[in-house]
């Protein structure tokens, strides 16, 4: 029911912008993954910043992968923080 209310809300403002936000967040997620793979701390910081956005979009679009992976990515970034190069 909450998803339907959110979809009705986005439809009233034009649903195209939400699709573009999801695409943009997905591109940023790829960048986060690359930076974390390289051991850069800014990847961890950006992962923590983008986790709530990814979670909200996962909830909005009813995408279980984003709902599960956003908090796990944030936890992983916190756990890996001491091992990242500075």
Per-residue pLDDT reduced to its tens digit, 27-64: 999 999 999 999 999 999 999 999 999 998 888 878 88
* φ, ψ of residue 35 in degrees (nearest 5): -65, -40
Q: Which residues constitute the domain of residue 65?
A: 2-83
Q: In terms of Cα–Cα distance, which of 30, 31, 18 is closest to 57?
A: 18
DSSP 81: G
What per-residue confidence (pLDDT) applies to 35?
Answer: 93
Looking up tokens 């916190």, which residue turns up?
Answer: 78
The pTM for the full model equals 0.74
Average pLDDT, the chain: 83
Distances in whole angstroms, Cα of residue 16 to Cα of each of 20, 23, 45, 63: 6, 11, 28, 18
What per-residue confidence (pLDDT) applies to 18?
Answer: 77
Q: What is the tally of structural domains in the chain?
A: 1
Q: Is the pLDDT of residue 20 over 90?
A: no
Q: In terms of Cα–Cα distance, which of 37, 29, 41 is closest to 65?
A: 29
């Amino acid at each position: 029911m909450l998803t339907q209310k959110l979809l009705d809300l986005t439809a009233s403002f034009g649903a195209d912008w939400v699709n573009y936000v999801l695409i943009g967040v997905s591109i940023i997620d790829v960048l986060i993954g690359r930076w974390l793979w390289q051991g850069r701390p800014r990847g961890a910081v950006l992962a923590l910043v983008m986790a709530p956005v990814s979670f909200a979009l996962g909830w909005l679009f009813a995408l279980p992968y984003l709902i599960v992976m956003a908090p796990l990515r944030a936890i992983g970034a916190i756990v890996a923080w001491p091992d990242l190069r500075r």
